[in-house]
Amino acid sequence: MNKLHPVLRCLFFIIFPVVSGYYLIQHGVHASGKAQVALIGGGIILLIIAFIFFLGYLWRCSSCKYWFVAERVKREELGREKGTKIKTLTDKVKNRKGETVRTIEKEVVVQIERIAYRNYMECSHCHFKWTTNSVEEREL
Ligand SMILES: [Zn+2]
């Protein structure tokens, strides 16, 4: 499996389960009884498999090509900036019985802070080192 080209591997383990999982769920919706359970269940399992392989692909090592081997050994803050973001809040209007009669959506502007990081990664298999950048958003 590790000798396969990364793009081909991506195709086999991500695209194939996603497409067939989606297809199974679509058919399951129109099926009845046990067939519905089997088709939708199979579809969901395929989607979960695709998601796990996607994570493995993200945490792969570009040197030895193994999957699930990346480890973040250190994180360094590069800088932070303040900004704003539009967020949708939903309010539920309830009657005396506590049932929701309608929901009101409103958009509010929230203050946020974006923090840029440099991540120092290391492969747990061959100890190859590399860095990645990432940005995290935090509400103030
Ligand atoms: Zn490695």
The pLDDT tens digits of the residues spanning 38-74 come to 999 999 999 998 888 888 888 889 899 888 899 999 9
On whether residue 65 sits in a domain, the answer given is no
Ligand 1 centre distance from Cα of residue 110 (Å): 41
Distance 137 CA to ligand 1 centre (A): 30
For residue 83, give its domain range. 70-139
CA distance 110 to 12: 42
Residues 74 and 128 in one domain: yes
Which of 19, 38, 58 is the last residue in one of the domains? 58
Distance in Å, CA 37 to ligand 1 centroid = 41
Q: How confident is the model at residue 111 (pLDDT cuts 50, 70, 90)?
A: very high
Range 103-119 average pLDDT: 94
The average confidence (pLDDT) of the chain is: 88
CB 79 within 8 A of CB 114: no
Q: Please, what sign has the CA dihedral across residues 36, 38, 41, 46? A: negative
